[in-house]
Structures are given as C-alpha cells and as structure tokens.
C-alpha cells in the first residue's frame, strides 16, 4: 500500500436505525416479496435450463443410436451390392450363358431363323 494513499471511507447505504410505523412494515413486506419473487424466478430458470440440458443429452444419445443403425444398414447394403455385382458379372459371362442355354434345351439358331427388325 502506498504511503500517500488516502484512508478508505465507509459508506452506509441504509440507516442504522429502523424506521418505525406502518409504512416501514409495508415497505419491508414489499421488499421481502420482491426478493422471494426474484429467488423463485431464478430457481425456475435454473430448473428450465437443467431440463433443457437433459433433453439435449437424450437427443444426442438417440441420434447416436440412429446413426449406428444407419451405418449397419449401409454396411449390409454395400455387401449385398457387391454380391449382386459378382452375380451379374457371372450371368453376363458368355460361357455361363451358353451352359445355361444348353441345360434348358436351347440350340444355335439355324439359317433363316434370325430376322433383323429395324
């Protein structure tokens, strides 16, 4: 602390002696009611914020479950697509087509059986 600093001054914002009479009691009741209302409002705001926080956390958990399910579906569909692509490649293979056609009793077309339509 500096040596040349001025001493602190104590300021009193309320009277040291209570005011007497019905006005003082009414004022005291009004001030208490105001304080109670403010505390109640702050408490309700705090409860509302807590509820919003819990709701948001539940939403995050639910979205996580939905995302996990969507990833499982995506993985399953990707596997199915790969299997179908393999099957399609096998079915398009000329040797496989000829083998299946012979099994069904089909033969090469004879001359005059094929007609071009344009």
Q: Is residue 111 part of a domain?
A: no
Q: Is residue 10 part of a domain?
A: no
- Domain encompassing residue 43: 23-103
Q: Is residue 96 part of a domain?
A: yes
Answer whether residue 18 shows pLDDT above 70: no
Q: Is residue 48 part of a domain?
A: yes
**Contact between 62 and 56 (Cβ < 8 Å):** no
Domain count within the chain: 1
**Contact between 44 and 38 (Cβ < 8 Å):** no
Q: Is residue 94 part of a domain?
A: yes
d(CA 57, CA 64): 11
Answer whether residue 107 shows pLDDT above 60: yes
Q: Is residue 98 part of a domain?
A: yes
pLDDT at position 46, please?
98
3-state helix, strand and coil shares in percent for the chain, rounded to the nearest 5:
70, 0, 30
pLDDT at position 20, please?
63
Interval 40-88: pLDDT, tens: 999 999 999 999 999 999 999 999 999 999 999 999 999 999 999 999 9
């Amino acid at each position: 602390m500096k040596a040349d600093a001025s001493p602190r001054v104590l300021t009193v914002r309320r009277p040291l002696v209570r005011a007497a009479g019905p006005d003082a009691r009414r004022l005291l009741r009004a001030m208490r009611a105001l304080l109670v209302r403010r505390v109640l409002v702050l408490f309700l705001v705090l409860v509302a914020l807590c509820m919003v926080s819990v709701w948001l956390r539940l939403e995050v958990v639910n979205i996580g479950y939905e995302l996990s399910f969507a990833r499982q579906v995506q993985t399953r569909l990707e596997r199915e697509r790969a299997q179908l692509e393999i099957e399609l490649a096998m079915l398009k293979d000329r040797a496989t087509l000829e083998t299946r056609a012979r099994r069904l009793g089909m033969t090469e077309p004879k001359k005059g059986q094929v007609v071009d339509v344009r």
